[in-house]
Amino acid sequence: MGRITSEFLSKGQRYDPTISFEELFKAGRTVWFMIAFQMQLNLPLILTDSIFGYNMLYPYTDDLVDCNSISREAKKDFAKVFHERLLNGESTYDPTVHFDGKQSNVEDLNLPSSLQPHANRVVKIFDMVKFIENDWKRGSEYDGVYMSLATIHESQMKSTLQHATTDDGYAPTMTQVEQVSAEKGGASLIAAGFLIEGRLTRAKMAYLEYLGFGLQLLDDLQDVKEDMKNNHRTIFTQTLAEGQMLDAPTARLIQYCYCAPAFETFSDDQRTVSDQKTGVTLAQYVRVSMMMFSVVLVLEAASRLQEFYSKTFYLELASLSPLTFNDLKTVRVEDKLWAIVRNQWF
C-alpha cells in the first residue's frame, strides 16, 4: 500500500505540478479502497493508469460540480460535454494510441463559452479519461467501464439538488437527499470495481453499491460543519435542518457497517484462503477490516460533533471508542494513516 500510495503521489505531481497536497489527499482516499479491492479479487497490487485517472477525477470535477461560484449554465454545459466524453469518447479516438501522461493542449478543446474560463481544469478532466482509455479500450467487451463512469457522473450532477438556496427558498426533502446519496455513493464504488476488473458479477456490484453508500454517509458525517456553511443537505445536515439531533442517523450508520452484506462471501473467495482451519479467506479479512475501520472513522467524526448529539447518546458512542473522545477528536486517523503509508513508516 505504501509503494502504491507513493507512486500515486509522484504520478499526480508529475502530471500536474500545481496540484495541492489537499487535492492529492482527497484523491488518494479512494486509491486505498481500490488497493483493498485488488486484494479481495486476488489481483496484482499495482497502480494502473485507470486507477490513477479515476481517482484524479475527484479533485478536478468537484470544483466544477460543487463550487457555488460557478454559474448554473457552466455546470449544465459541463454535465453535457463530460457525459458525452465518458460515454462515447473523443471523435478522434484511436484505440491504438497510448496516452503518454503529458497535459493536453487547452487550445485543442472546443468548449461552450460558459466553460472557457474553466478550460484549464476541463482539459485535465479529459486527460484523466485518456488514462482510463489506456487500460480499457472502447468498443469492446469492457463497455461497462464507460457506462459505469457515465452513471457516477450523472449521480454527481444530481447532487446539485442537495444545495438549499436562499434566493428562491429551495430546500430538498429528506427523500430526495437519501436518493441522491445512495445513487452517488453506490455508483462511485461500482465504477471503481469496473476499473479494476473490467467486468463485474451482479453479486460484486451489489456489494460495491452497499459499501459505497456507507462510505458516502461516512464522508457526509465528516463534512457536517462544512456542509452546513454551504447549505449543502446530506442525511445529517437535513436532519439538523429539521430540528433533530444526529443520534438516529449516526446509530443507523454504525449498524449499516455491521450489517451482513459487509461480510458476504463470493464464489471466487476460495482462491485466497488464508486460514485453512476456519476457511476464512484473505478477501473476507480485508472486507471485515474495511468495515471495522469505517466504524472507527464514524466515531472520530462524531467525537467532533458533540453539540449535535444528546448527552446520553454521545456518552454511549464514547464508550465504544478505542480511545477517549478527547483524544480521538484530535488524532485525525486518516491523516496519520496517510502519513504512515506515504512515508512507509512500517
DSSP conformation letters of 50-78: HHHHHHHHHHHHHHHHH-TTS-HHHHHHH
Q: What is the pLDDT of residue 225?
A: 96
In sequence order, the β-bridge partners of residue 273 are 281
Contacts of 232 (CB under 8 A, 6+ apart): 66, 162, 163, 164, 226
Determine the average pLDDT of the residues in 110-132: 93
SS3 267: coil
The answer to whether the beta carbons of residues 339 and 1 sit under 8 Å apart is: no
CA torsion sign for 222, 223, 226, 228 is negative
Q: What is the pLDDT of residue 302?
A: 96
The radius of gyration computed from the CA coordinates of the chain, to the nearest angstrom, equals: 21
Amino acid at 336: K
Closest CA to 325 of 298, 291, 288, 290: 298
Determine the average pLDDT of the residues in 140-163: 88
Taking 3-state DSSP, the helix, strand and coil percentages for the chain, each rounded to the nearest 5, stand at 70, 0, 30
Q: What is the pLDDT of residue 313?
A: 97
pLDDT beyond 90 at 135: yes
* Least confident segment among 44-48, 167-171, 260-264: 260-264
pLDDT beyond 70 at 94: yes
Separation CA 14–CA 270 (nearest Å): 39
Amino acid at 23: E
Placement of cell 472546443 in the chain: 110
Secondary structure (DSSP) of 91-152: TT--TT----SPPPPGGG----GGGGGGHHHHHHHHHHHHHHHHHS-SSSTTHHHHHHHHHH
Separation CA 234–CA 79 (nearest Å): 21
Top-ranked range on mean pLDDT: pick from 34-43, 99-108, 298-307: 298-307
Secondary structure (DSSP) of 164-228: --SSS-----HHHHHHHHHHHHHHHHHHHHHHHHSS--HHHHHHHHHHHHHHHHHHHHHTHHHHH
Determine the average pLDDT of the residues in 29-55: 87
252 falls in which pLDDT band (50, 70, 90)? very high
Determine the average pLDDT of the residues in 138-160: 89
Separation CA 87–CA 146 (nearest Å): 6
Q: What is the pLDDT of residue 340?
A: 66
182 falls in which pLDDT band (50, 70, 90)? very high
Mean pLDDT of the chain: 86
Which alpha helices (DSSP H) does 223-321 contain, by range? Answer: 224-229, 235-241, 247-258, 282-303, 311-320
The answer to whether the beta carbons of residues 180 and 159 sit under 8 Å apart is: yes
* Least confident segment among 180-194, 219-233, 262-276, 283-297: 262-276
The length of the chain is 346
The answer to whether the beta carbons of residues 1 and 341 sit under 8 Å apart is: yes
Reported as a single tens digit per residue, the pLDDT across 302-324 is: 999 999 999 999 999 999 998 89
Amino acid at 123: V
pTM of the predicted protein model: 0.86
Q: What single-letter DSSP state applies at residue 281?
A: B
**% residues pLDDT > 90 (the chain):** 50
